[in-house]
Structure 1
Amino acid sequence: MGLCGVVVMLSLCGALTPALGDKHSLFYIYTALSKSVHLPGIYDFTAMGLLDDREIDYYNSKDQVKIPKQDWMRENMQPDYWEKGTQSRKSKEQWFKVSMDILMQRMRHSQTDLHVLQWRVGCEIDDTNGEITYLSGIYEYSYDGSEFLSFDDENMRWVAPVPAAEPTKRKWDDVAILNQYTKGYLEKECVDWLSKFMEYVKESLRTHTPPDVRVFAKKSLSDPKKLTLTCLVTGFYPKDMRLSVRKFHNPLPDHLLTSSGVRPNGDGTYQLRKSVDVQEEDKAGYDCYVNHVTLKETIIKQWDGDSFGGLVVIIGAVVGVLLVLGAAVGLIIFLKKKRRNDTPPQNNHQNYTLM
């Protein structure tokens, strides 16, 4: 496959959710290329840890060092954690090289073409009322963007969706201790690390940041006879935010609004934007209603004469956020279609090649 077949996706990682009674996830994603592509930020092998979809650690084949991507990781994890993690990443890098060669031979793929082998592993929990409940585990491999092999946690067996994965499935299913380890890793070890990381996150969020609220209005792109009223709330921490666009103090239903969803700013704070299209002569009586844990009083802002013509400010704020995010995270390579790392303990699968 030529380089034109590669789809490069920026991983705009979501926000950490510190509130109790929520779902949380810990995933590790490993990506290996069959050959170098010599493009900035794209390496032969990368690995990253994601806590609630936010990058917490990173490794690439050029620097060959596992590094923290969050201050709370840097502050709480001891030097030997990073040293052992680096050695683990190096071992997996070698495992991927061997496995890639085996798969390419098995599929009779040319060494001159570019191929991608990816592994995603991790777990999801719910901590409603402070009690940890295991929800699911993911342990899956993809080759050139297509599902190759995955672990059925409930039945403790491997699932091969393509014929080329059958030899690996048979080999790994024949090793009962390997499947027992994989199930235990997803349901116990991964959950333990996820719980520990969440405690560090909650501790780091003791200092909350109040939101900055701005309102803007511009001509609607879909109907020049209408105005788009936008409320932008940014710089708040933690993530939980109540934002309503109201008409005469009555919240508008969600289906009438356009929402950006809560997005990270790149500095540990978040932003949320909601908009509504209204008739230009009917713009009176609308306001932006904001409530956050950091506020002693609710913020209410109305659209007035000063808030019109702010389109450039909105675009600048949003583009700035995306640029910060893009610079803050690594590139994940996908081929053919989008597919959806190593937790701190060593994973035994590096001892089992894909033969």
Structure 2
Amino acid sequence: MKVSAQLCVFLLYGTFPSIQAEKHSLYYIYTGLSKLVDLPGIYEFTAMGLLDDRQIDYYNSKEKRKIPTQPWMKEKMQEDYWEKGTQSRKSKEQWFNVNVHILINRMRHNESDLHVIQRRVGCEVEQQGDEVKFLKGVSEYGYDGEDFLSFDDKESQWVAPVDTALPTKRKWDNVPILNQYTKGYLEKECVDWLNKFREYGDEELRKTSPPDVHVFLRKSNDKTKLEFTCLATGFYPKDVTMIIRKNNTSLPEDQNESTGIRPNHDGSYQLRKSVEIMEEEKDEYDCFVSHRTLEKPIVFKWGN
């Protein structure tokens, strides 16, 4: 019996590609440095908005203006939106400038060294047809590249993964109205803005691009084996499924080396996975790629 590619996806994942729900996100990223760095494009404070991983606005401590980075944001959002946004970003800049030094002292770190405090806040939704479902809200802080504090949206409380974050957790949890506001922003206000932005940028955001798939073979570090590599590039949105298979059977993920999904310069994405194989078995391997832009998955073998 011949099984269709769509049925294969159903058997693997329990859903058909044509009815898969779309996931969308809105995040704001804030980065504050403890001192000025003499490097081009690096500022003491930066902030940006990301809608479905595309930058929609930007602010830095030199220009001190929140500006649109998408034409439709400039066209649709009124001047008072950018004025209020600029004032909000200036306030956050001051907060970061103060708190990065509080953390340096708390950690007993050297003030003369460079230290970084970051925040990511936003929400993700799932859309199927006209129905939009809230998936999760994120409000988290990092210090020098390590997790410092995060908000548990379900429990409405802060989580401290390190002991040095406990004083902040206790302080913020003792202000219930702060946690109520954070939960309300993540579940309601953030989702409202996400939907509004997607409506404004509908035509641009709905542009999709299918993956361009390639398979490579090269000598492995182990001279008795080959490295079988699958590359998918140029696709948008970034959600993609890539499986390296042997005789139509998926290999366990822990056998693969993966770059993870990475951005290309044009706003599209790429993903590369590799596995070591025996040379005489190279014809038994293929690369299975599924993406929402494809009517059916791509199955690519060496020599196609």
TM-score between both structures, scaled by the size of structure 2: 0.70
Counterpart residue identity of residue 134, structure 1: F
Counterpart residue identity of residue 182, structure 1: T
Matched, 1:281 2:280: yes
Aligned residue pair count: 284
Q: Distance in 2 between matches of 1:139 and 1:297?
A: 37
Cα RMSD over matched residues? 4.0
Paired residue for 1:45?
A: 45
Paired residue for 1:265?
A: 264
Matched, 1:231 2:259: no
Distance change (3 Å), C-alpha of 1:285 and 1:61: same
CA contact (8 A) 2:245 2:251 kept: no
Distance change (3 Å), C-alpha of 1:105 and 1:229: closer
Paired residue for 1:253?
A: 251
Paired residue for 1:195?
A: 195
Task: Decide which structure has greater strand share.
Answer: 2
CA contact (8 A) 1:117 1:144 kept: yes
CA contact (8 A) 2:28 2:48 kept: yes
SS of equivalent to 1:188:
helix
Q: Distance in 1 between matches of 2:294 and 2:145?
A: 45
Deviation at 1:218, TM superposition (A): 0.9
Distance change (3 Å), C-alpha of 1:98 and 1:262: closer
Counterpart residue identity of residue 283, structure 1: K
Identity %: 61
Distance change (3 Å), C-alpha of 1:240 and 1:39: closer
Q: Distance in 2 between matches of 1:247 and 1:209?
A: 28
Deviation at 1:93, TM superposition (A): 1.5
Alignment of 1:1-355 (within 5 A): 21-70=21-70, 73-74=73-74, 76-100=76-100, 112-127=112-127, 131-143=131-143, 151=151, 153-154=153-154, 156=156, 162=163, 166=167, 169-170=170-171, 177-199=177-199, 203-221=203-221, 223-241=222-240, 243-245=242-244, 250-255=248-253, 256-284=255-283, 286-290=285-289, 292-294=291-293, 301-304=300-303
Paired residue for 2:12?
A: none
TM-score between both structures, scaled by the size of structure 1: 0.62
Distance change (3 Å), C-alpha of 1:276 and 1:200: farther
Deviation at 1:189, TM superposition (A): 0.9
Q: Distance in 2 between matches of 1:68 and 1:112?
A: 35
The 10-residue stretch of structure 1 (140-149 or 26-35) with the greater mean CA deviation from structure 2? 140-149
Q: Distance in 2 between matches of 1:169 and 1:113?
A: 28
SS of equivalent to 2:180:
helix
Counterpart residue identity of residue 26, structure 2: L
Q: Could you say which structure has the greater relative contact order, defined with CA pairs below 8 angstroms and 6 or more residues apart?
A: 1
CA contact (8 A) 2:216 2:230 kept: yes
Q: Distance in 2 between matches of 1:287 and 1:141?
A: 41
Q: Distance in 2 between matches of 1:142 and 1:217?
A: 40
Q: Distance in 2 between matches of 1:165 and 1:289?
A: 46
Paired residue for 2:4?
A: none
Distance change (3 Å), C-alpha of 1:226 and 1:164: closer
Counterpart residue identity of residue 197, structure 1: F
CA contact (8 A) 1:148 1:162 kept: no
Counterpart residue identity of residue 253, structure 1: L
Q: Distance in 1 between matches of 2:68 and 2:192?
A: 19
Q: Distance in 2 between matches of 1:146 and 1:36?
A: 21
SS of equivalent to 2:30:
strand
The 10-residue stretch of structure 1 (102-111 or 175-184) with the greater mean CA deviation from structure 2? 102-111
Deviation at 1:108, TM superposition (A): 7.8
